[in-house]
Structures are given as C-alpha cells and as structure tokens.
Structure 1
Amino acid sequence: MVDADQTFVIVGGGLAGAKAAETLRAEGFTGRVILICDERDHPYERPPLSKGYLLGKEERDSVFVHEPAWYARNDIELHLGQTVDAVDRAAKTVRFGDDGTLVHYDKLLLATGAEPRRLDIPGTDLAGVHHLRRLAHAERLKGVLAALGRDNGHLVIAGAGWIGLEVAAAAREYGAEVTVVEHGPTPLHGVLGPELGQVFAELHREHGVRFHFGVRLTEIVGQDGMVLAARTDDGEEHPAHDVLAAIGAAPRTGLAEAAGLTLADRAHGGGIAVDGRLRTSDPDIYAAGDVAAFHHPLFDTRLRVEHWANALNGGPAAARAMLGRDLTYDRMPYFFSDQYDLGMEYSGWAPPGTYDQVVIRGDAGKRQFIAFWVKEGRVLAGMNVNVWDVTEPIQALIRSGTPVDTEALANPHVPLETLTP
C-alpha cells in the first residue's frame, strides 16, 4: 500500500527520471520523491543536443523537461550535481553527495542512462577531441562547429551512427569540412543494414561529407595540445582541427553491478535486466531508459533501447509499476532523425541477419519513401523518410505479426491501414 510515509528515490536526472517523478505526482503519490542528478543542469532532453540546439535553431531553455520552479512546486526533492556511489539493498539506502548523505528508500528507480564509448588510441587527451552526450558537450561543440565553419576547418568524426551523422550534417551547415571514419561498410549498418545505409551515405556525400569505410582510427596526431590529423589503420592520415568520437554509448551499470543486481548479457546490449514491469532482480528496485534491458514480447528477445521515446515512455511506466499498477512494458522501439532536408522515423527492430528482404514504398532516389524490413512476409520494422503521419499504421503492421502481400506493401496507392488484419 502506497502512502505518504513512503520514500521513492530516483537516481538519474535525464528524461526517464524526470518523467518518472512527474508521473508519481500525477498518479497521486504523496510521499517523498527524491531525484538525484549527477549533472548541475536541470533534467533535459537529449535529441536537441545533436539537432536543433546544436544548429542554433533552438534556445538553450527549450531542452529542459520542466521549468526549474516545477520541481519545488511539485515537492520533488531535486539534488543536482550529486553522484550516488552506493546502494545498500539490505538497509534500503542510497549514499550520495560529497558528504556521503544516506537516504532510505521504499522503492528505487535507476535511470542512470549511458555514457559515450571512448576511443582507446593515442591522442584522445588533446583539446580538440570531443564527445556528445551532455548539454555541456553540445554547448562546447556548438562553438567548435561555428569556428570550423568560419575558418574552413576540418572535423573528423569517428563513427557513422545517428550521432555521428547528425553532427556531420550540423557541421556542414556551419560550413566545416567533414570526414567520417566508419569501420562498417555503410552508415548505420548495424541498424538499417546495407540497403538503407547507402541512402544516408549518398545524402551526406551530396552535402560534401567524405566517408572512409572499413577502417578505424588508430591515432590522433597533435602539437602543443591541439589536433592536427587523424590516422586510420590503413595508413591514411586525415587533416583535422577537431575530432568527434561517436562510436556508441555504454549503459551506466556500475551502481547496479556493485549492488548485486542482475545484468543483461552483452549480446543483448548489456544494461540492467528488468522484467515486464521494469523491475530488476530486486523487487524494490526498478530501471528505465537507456540503462534498462527488457524482454520485448513482440520480438521475443531482450532489448536495450537508447532512444528518446524509450526514456519518455519507460520512466512513467516504471513509476506506475512502483505504485503497484499492473502493466507490461512493451512499447515499440521508435526513434527519429533530422539531417539536412531529410526527416525520418523508425519503428520496430530488425538488425542485419533478422530479415530476408527490404520492401520500398515510394521513391528512395528522391528520399521520399517508406522502407519495410520483412521476414517471411512479416513486417519487423518500418522507416518513413519525408513521409509523415504513418507511424501508427506501420506499428500496427509490425504488431500484427501476420504475413502481408509484399506487392501491396510496396504500392503507395494501397492504404497501409488495409494491410493489417
């Protein structure tokens, strides 16, 4: 029974943590809500960091989940710039802050997110080497891109994933020269496969981005603390004034591991293993957002989803589960991206090796189409590119799990809604 005497602690001040706190109050919880964030900024959303805010099209204040006064108004005890260094499951306490403050919890939510993977090569200590995960990173990178554009400078990006490509697009809009180094054969290969990865390669080449595929960075060369070039394992040397490491993110599981919670295996993306109610191996501890690895009933596998929608929906779901609500978290993986004049949305899960064909509806050459990843006639995932208001029928096709006529699927004149049983 939840009552005013209980204390719910949330570790992690990103979107998942902030939305969980909001949901607890919206659902009528009157006990203590303590939100502990290791950043000094109020909780914010991350997509603008590589999109609108980085491009200077959105103001800094637009990234925050709530206005600063919201937390006090809703009696959320917000601790900014505080790191939690221990969870004592037996005593049901967390320890945080410079003075080792101990606070008791009745329920605990771990929304610790992920952190950028680091390049393990010489030269990463140079001043011009960057990551993009936090607001402070975006603020710094924004100034860097503007300076590169003004001075005709060169940016080398390690990694052709979503962050790498979005920053490449932003850098080109500022006027910087851009080279992307990627060990895979195409951009976004692990997500979209070669068929659709090539669409993004062509998009960026048209805007002047140079790609170097099938290689890895081996060294960042500098002088007097500044970047001069980046070398790859095929012996090439690429001129660079700055380097962005965009080689993925690792779930921040250290706190959970030290507390003895069960972790997911690396084959499923790592993270904290949770059940359908986002509950960890400890029934009083939950996890949500980038760090949580949940078994998705539709795809019959454990997934760890690092995108905005998972934090937006996972935080509230965990909050309701902490309140004793009966639920199963089975939100469809969903993400979006904006690069130059291309906008896209992706729903589902279909990494290379899980599908047997890609069906295109529309004109991929004009970058106005929907792509479907299909196995034995069943739609596993769909991506709409510069085609809008189709997410619901795409997700309905995926959820139906029944074979569809691929000719009808490819025909723009056949409404998608008619293909769902």
Structure 2
Amino acid sequence: MSDPFDVPERDLPEHVRQQALRRIMTEIGREPRARRRSGLVPVVIAASVVILMAGATVVTSAILGNKDHKVTNASPTTHAAASTTSTSGGGRETGFGLYNAQRDWGTGAEMERCWQADHKPDTWAPLLRVETDNVVALLYRVGADIVFCQLTPVQVTVKSKPYPAPPTGNVPARILFTTVEGTYAGVTAADVDNLVITPDQPPIGSPSAIGNGVFILPNGYRPTDHVTLRGFSTPDYTVPKADLPQPLTSNRQTIDQHAERTSAAGQRLAGCLSAANPPVADADYFVAGASVVVDDQHWAQLGKVGNSLVWCSSVPGESARFLPLPPTTHAITWVTVDKFGPSEIGPVIVGIAQDADAATVSVQPPGKDARTATVDHGSFIVTGLGEPVGGSNVMVKDSAGKMIEQFPI
C-alpha cells in the first residue's frame, strides 16, 4: 500500500515565500515589548513556519579564489575560513534562504564584471550572494576590506570599505552600503540571525538575507533618511541619519546613453519608473516599447532593455512591475498579465520578440477570432483575449506577412 504522505517536494515561488515571511515577521514585531519574553513559544512556532516556507535545503558551495586560490577569512575575526558546506533554511545566519541567498559563493562571470568596474584582487573570499528580478548583489572580502558589488543587466556598482567590527549593544546591524536601486548591505551583530529593514514608507519592512555575519536586502526601497532595523533578539533600532551611507551610483555601464523620454510613450514610462518603489533597476535605460492607450486616463505601457521587461499602467497606486519572462525556444517569450492594469484593457499577453524579423504577434483563443499586436521596439501587447488563454494558437509573422512560427500555448 502506498504511503499517502509520500508526495514529491515542491518549492514555493519566491514572491509567495517573501510575502508569508513578511506578514509573520510583521505580526511578531507588533507584540507588546513587555510580553516578548512570555511570547517566546509563538515566536519560535512562527519562526519555524517561516523556515518551512523558505524551504530548508542543504547547499554545497565552493570557496572561490583566483591566481593561487588563496582565500582569506570571511570575517574580520580570526575564525577559520568559511565552510564549503552551508545550510539554507536551518541553523543560524540563514536569512530564511531569501532571494536565492548563497554563502561562500560567487560565479566567475559575475566576479569578472565586479573586478572590471574596480580592480582584480590577488585573493578574495565570497561572503554572500543574493538576487531578485534583474539585480544581483554580492559581498566579499579582500584583505582587510569588505567589498560590495551590485550587478544589473546594464550597470555595475562596486564599493569597498574597511571591514568593521560587528555592532554591539542594541544595534542589530550596521548599514555600510546603499544604492539608488534600493539595495541595503552591511554587517550584523554576533547574535542576530534575522533582520528586517523598514523605511518610513511603506510601514511594513522587508527581511534581509543573512550569512557569514553580513546581510543584503536587494532592490528593497528607495533610499530614505529614516530606516529602522528589527532583529528577533534586539529592540527596534532607528538608524541615526548620520550613520546612513550615501546611495551609490554605478561605476560602469554597458549602454552609453539613457533612453529617450520626450515622446508620449517615453513620458508615460518616465513618470511610472520615477515613482516606482522599490525602484526598477536600470530604469533610465528602458526603452519605451509597446503600449495600449484607451484614453489619457486608461493606458498600459511596456519598457524594454535587453531581455528585461517592465509594465506600467495608469492605475493609481500601481507601481511599475518587473515582468520575469520564462526561457523559451520560440520566436517570442511572453507572460500573461491579468491581475493588474486598467480593467478596460483586460487580460493581455505581453512579451519580447526574440526573432529580429518579428513584426506582428497574433493569439487566437479556441473558438474565437485572432487578436494581433504590432511589435514595437522589440515588445508587444496582445489585448482582448479574455480568459482562458490556454489552448490558444500563437502566430508570429514578419513585416511581409510571412509566418515565422506558429505554435499552441
């Protein structure tokens, strides 16, 4: 007889885990201080739930160096070099495995981009790597310095500082680096293994990834003068304004000029991206692409840079949204957008034309007429589909009407 509990393990999507973690940690933070000690059991239970939500997995990673592969210690203390095996989701300094966090790890291609924007060290020790949307952030040690590197498809931001001693007292962490893209990074106190960063707006903070005595919150909030740090083992700590580092701007760009913002489409995109919080990385380089305009009050606008796509709309309070596009072997890569945007536009398929000759994209739902969109600056929006989209036939054609590809979805 088969075991009814023998079911395959499945990872929850990253955004679901982060939302669950954020809600649980926020509710814990609202517990009265006088009851914090007597409320230990609920805190432990909630923390266990969060760890389960994060997906406890054992990750084996290699300590990387260069030249003679010498690796310095991963912190300013005299402990041994970081272990080549780390546990994500169990034990201390895990940060609940957020943002695909990896300790003691950094890929060669990513490190080469960091070094090209700064300098290539003789030896280095990776501390923590995280990623979210189109942002990768790393902390590593070079000699007596701690080095921060942020990578986007277009920009590289690198900065080094003397490696400080861990903060003490009621200070859970020290912010050493911030960027205009809303990334926060620094060192944690010795007894802190969970850290939430809360700006003045919005009121709910975001948890950071933690490992090797450092933390990173990638692409979190626009830099602000008011930041509160929350750890389980320390009271909430408001960082003095004088201790907040100046936001870093990029050291290196792969695109020389900003995208145009004078056309109507460019102005729609500029207004949307400038108000986005969290900020959209590489915002100045997104080219205004396909759009759907019902009138001045009801519109949707795409921005594209490389294989990155961002969605903007006229809906009040709806921030710009980075659209992760799944890999594909087809002439287009696409995603269905049906939970945001003006109701007048309805469910749509948006995407990027991978084939340079693609001029139109048509989608024909079962039993309905085909809906066709023009490819504009490499992107497209197919509207009027209704639901469901599954089972539809997709047709990609060139400017002469010749079929490039036809396939079902």
Q: Give the alignment's TM-score, normalised by structure 2.
A: 0.28
Q: Give the alignment's TM-score, normalised by structure 1.
A: 0.27
Which structure's residues are more often helix, by fraction? 1
The structure with the larger Rg is 2
Which structure's residues are more often strand, by fraction? 2
Q: Which has the higher contact order (CA 8 A, sep 6+)?
A: 1
